[in-house]
Structure 1
């Protein structure tokens, strides 16, 4: 009989104790130790300990009824051993629906809830272990990319130094070729002056009087007539208007035609001044003069030398411009922030595509994002702007701005979130608001060692 009372007392104490601490996490158990009175956790009221978990709400914060649904602000703690613990509103306690995987929320209802925590925990553990394997592999690949980034950075720095040296060498060559071209042009000018003295004068453009006379003498009879002047000569201030018969005759003087000697001493002077009349086809006049000049061997040699130096100078100028453009482009690339260890450097000059319904999106890191429809229309969603991650993960997001204008006004823009993965690929594209895009970009260099430190929850 005595043993019966002892067992009964123990069972009664166990019942009272379990009633009082039901729905409480281990960190809150200290508030519910066996005492004569209970202080509401918010400090608002002291009640007898018998009123804890008695299905009547005494505390405003609901702390006296953690295991019942009596308090509207109450919370019930699901221990969920083998899975993730969590809180549920106390209104869901004993409502016939299993909210805790260990069925602890339905301790006094008709619901028959199996304990599914172990199965859920197994799936959770398998998922977390898979994530950890991915993280391990991602971190391994990241280290490789960091090492490659260091080598690539050094190569680009060396390339920049080489280009700058080439630029300096080309600058010296430019000065030398400019000097040689100037000298060749001076020698050509001397040869032309010697030819002028022999042929009786030059046009203002350096052309001889003879080829101009031959140009005007259309029928090659060594005479210029009014009809020939009307065909080849125009007024300087009215090129569309042809000479009249009277005007042509006036230029020829008393005779109706003019030979070379007369032309050189009369009409040639008028053409030379260039203030009233000129040859209608200036290109033809230049070509005619060049034809006569080309017959002189000294002028020919000087002309070839000047042309050779001009060609060489042009080549060097083009090479110098190309090298400086490469230097400028390389300097811009090297000025970009590629991460603390330059781990993102390998993304430069790479592009990644993803087709979403009728659109193909192309992300070119540190450059531009485009959207191309099935009909071939391509628009810019933004150009590289800056990193916009959190203080803990500065390189977690990229912002691309100033894309093509949106039909509702403003420019398109995109935010790219970088996530850890064993491959580098564009995974998803969404448009939560008009012309504002968000993208998920997976890459090993986004893997962070701090994630590994979090590990798996101790209760799993």
Structure 2
């Protein structure tokens, strides 16, 4: 106490002298003591008579000779504000008609009311709250220091445990992926094999399909149609003679043997099926028919040139013989190919080839039709059923035979149809799935069952592989996070470590600001978010958190944010502002910012404020209040 008392005694004369100078800061009072009746400007460049101080004329370049007027634009006015906080004003605010000092000293006497006591009482209440908060904050800070030590120990332990977990998760991922890959390879092989079998089956089916009608067949069918039209004309001309001939022919057929009738039926489908005697008989019948029809034909062409008619008949005969020769050669070729194909079949196919009913269904159909017709109308109906031109029963029988298959129009077409029937019977491509096609179908069905079972087994294996990969990725991310945490700087005694992983927000108008210490800062509006920077470090003696390199402004710098830390009993984000374009500021209250030194300073200020309001004011406290720069505010 003794040193402070001596200082007070030394400063009292200066304080008394300074008290008479309006607007003088008590801290500067010793320098305003006159020396030989003169005042030396505070910048030391000039001395003026002491009477020039506050004469409303600026003599000193630094404006120090006019502390109580507005004469110097760079001068300052000091508000004592007894019972409240001292205040320093710019000289331009002196005598401007606005009461800036709560004691009214910046304006002429009597213009302003002294409200410093009321303001001092309000500030005293606020100061007491600050002291209480600081006490809680200091206690919280001590807890933060202990928590920081525990946290770092936990991080280190988790990092060590994670090393072993990573190895296990890598092995689990590799095993799951190996099993998945093995099953997928097996699946691919089965799919490839199935595709091969399906291609082979399609190839066999294409080979077994009946060949499309050739151009020769279509031309022959057209020729037959033209010939049929000519025959109808001849029959119309012949009249009753033709009808009588048909009746004679029907009576002659009844006398024929069954062997002759069978040859005639086969001759309808297979050229050359009749023996030589049959061919001669057919030729004789054809000649007799032509002789009978000749008179009618001659009547039809009366008046025509006889030589031209004979030439036309000869040409038609030659064309018909050439067509028959071509058809016979084609039939022999197809028959030879059928025999070669039959030799390549297995015993089952050969047995099927020996069954005449499979190769010649038209004979059975004709017989059945005849039988059905005979049961209704007798022998005449049976014959008609075989030939397709009898009474009602025969017509019904012929219709049944025709319903089984549509017969080709020419002998060549009939031969192709016969060969196709033989080939289908030998290969088993119809009715039962036997032969090579049936075997392929059975193999394909078995592969489909295997694929179905494999897909059922593969799905959970794939899911497990995905889970193992995700688990490993999460563990690796956690490892990187732990490395970052352990390498971080968290202030004295790691007091800010408990703030790691925490985020604090405050809303200002339509924006929500979020600050995550040691991570990032952002500005949010609805579902959109703008980066105000990522963690840059602690600055200003660990009193400021800096965030840099945020999202760039339009034609401007990258956004940044500085957060000033202040003492508080709990974390609270406040005082959000944008003082410069794309540069944001905020204040974060936290127990981590509460220090025992700050608490002691607040308690000392509280005691002094209480003495001021109570009227108690000793010399030591007066000096302390006068010379403490942190107790002043400046406008």
What TM-score bracket applies, with the shorter chain setting the length? Answer: 0.5 to 0.7
Matched residue, 2:569: 422
The answer on whether the counterparts of 1:93 and 1:105 sit within 8 Å (CA) in structure 2 is yes
Matched residue, 1:397: 546
The answer on whether the counterparts of 1:138 and 1:444 sit within 8 Å (CA) in structure 2 is yes
The 1:371–1:65 alpha-carbon spacing in structure 2 relative to 1, beyond 3 Å, is closer
The 1:402–1:154 alpha-carbon spacing in structure 2 relative to 1, beyond 3 Å, is farther
Matched residue, 2:496: 343
Matched residue, 1:438: 584
Give the Cα separation in 2 of the matches to 1:38 and 1:98: 32
Q: For residue 29 of structure 1, report the CA deviation from its aligned partner.
A: 2.7
- Is 1:119–2:268 an aligned residue pair? no
Match runs of 1:145-164 below 5 Å: 145-164=144-163
Matched residue, 2:232: none
Matched residue, 1:371: 524
Matched residue, 2:529: 380
Matched residue, 1:275: none
Name the structure where strand makes up a greater proportion of residues: 1
The answer on whether the counterparts of 2:79 and 2:87 sit within 8 Å (CA) in structure 1 is yes
Q: Out of 445, 448, 452, which is 1:291 matched to?
A: 445
Give the Cα separation in 2 of the matches to 1:184 and 1:203: 11
Matched residue, 1:272: none
Number of corresponding residues: 370
SS of equivalent to 1:205: helix
Q: For residue 76 of structure 1, report the CA deviation from its aligned partner.
A: 3.6
Q: For residue 401 of structure 1, report the CA deviation from its aligned partner.
A: 1.8
The 1:44–1:224 alpha-carbon spacing in structure 2 relative to 1, beyond 3 Å, is same
Per the normalisation by structure 1, the TM-score is 0.58
Matched residue, 1:165: 164
The 1:321–1:26 alpha-carbon spacing in structure 2 relative to 1, beyond 3 Å, is same
> Could you give the per-residue CA deviations for residues 3-62 of structure 1, whole angstroms, max 9, x where no partner exists?
xxxxxxxxxx99x95786444333333333354232422333344445555666554444
Matched residue, 2:481: 333
The answer on whether the counterparts of 1:160 and 1:327 sit within 8 Å (CA) in structure 2 is no
Give the Cα separation in 2 of the matches to 1:217 and 1:59: 118
The answer on whether the counterparts of 1:217 and 1:224 sit within 8 Å (CA) in structure 2 is yes
Matched residue, 2:132: 133
The 1:21–1:67 alpha-carbon spacing in structure 2 relative to 1, beyond 3 Å, is same
Matched residue, 1:80: 81
Q: For residue 386 of structure 1, report the CA deviation from its aligned partner.
A: 1.9
Give the Cα separation in 2 of the matches to 1:414 and 1:51: 50
SS of equivalent to 1:401: coil
Give the Cα separation in 1 of the matches to 2:532 and 2:19: 63
The answer on whether the counterparts of 1:414 and 1:437 sit within 8 Å (CA) in structure 2 is yes
Per the normalisation by structure 2, the TM-score is 0.45
The 1:414–1:90 alpha-carbon spacing in structure 2 relative to 1, beyond 3 Å, is closer
Aligned-residue Cα RMSD (Å) equals 5.3
Give the Cα separation in 2 of the matches to 1:446 and 1:428: 19
SS of equivalent to 1:121: helix
Q: For residue 381 of structure 1, report the CA deviation from its aligned partner.
A: 0.5
Match runs of 1:29-428 below 5 Å: 29-41=29-41, 42-53=43-54, 58-67=59-68, 73-89=74-90, 98-105=99-106, 109=108, 111=110, 113-173=112-172, 205-207=192-194, 224-225=208-209, 256=420, 289=443, 291-293=445-447, 314=462, 317-334=465-482, 335-336=484-485, 337=488, 339-340=490-491, 341=494, 343-348=496-501, 350=502, 352=504, 354-358=506-510, 366=519, 369=522, 371-373=524-526, 378-382=527-531, 385-387=534-536, 390-393=539-542, 395-399=544-548, 401-402=550-551, 408=554, 413=559, 415=561, 417-420=563-566, 421-427=568-574
The 1:388–1:343 alpha-carbon spacing in structure 2 relative to 1, beyond 3 Å, is closer
Matched residue, 1:447: 593
Give the Cα separation in 2 of the matches to 1:93 and 1:294: 100
> Could you give the per-residue CA deviations for residues 220-258 of structure 1, whole angstroms, max 9, x where no partner exists?
xx994269xxxxxxxxxxxxxxxxxxxxxxxx9997586
The answer on whether the counterparts of 2:570 and 2:591 sit within 8 Å (CA) in structure 1 is no
> Could you give the per-residue CA deviations for residues 83-142 of structure 1, whole angstroms, max 9, x where no partner exists?
222334556666776544445455xx4525444333322222322332333233234334
> Could you give the per-residue CA deviations for residues 421-441 of structure 1, whole angstroms, max 9, x where no partner exists?
33434546556678x473636
Give the Cα separation in 2 of the matches to 1:294 and 1:130: 81
The more displaced of 253-262 and 333-342 is: 253-262
Matched residue, 1:247: none
SS of equivalent to 1:291: helix
List alignment gaps of at least 5 residues for structure 1. 1-12, 190-201, 228-251, 264-285
Matched residue, 2:383: none
Name the structure where helix makes up a greater proportion of residues: 2
Higher Rg of the two aligned structures: 2
Q: For residue 168 of structure 1, report the CA deviation from its aligned partner.
A: 1.2
Matched residue, 1:249: none
List alignment gaps of at least 5 residues for structure 2. 1-12, 212-337, 342-415, 429-439, 609-623, 626-630
> Could you give the per-residue CA deviations for residues 245-278 of structure 1, whole angstroms, max 9, x where no partner exists?
xxxxxxx999758679979xxxxxxxxxxxxxxx
SS of equivalent to 2:83: coil
The 1:354–1:95 alpha-carbon spacing in structure 2 relative to 1, beyond 3 Å, is closer
- Higher RCO structure (Cα 8 Å, ≥6 apart): 2
SS of equivalent to 1:385: strand
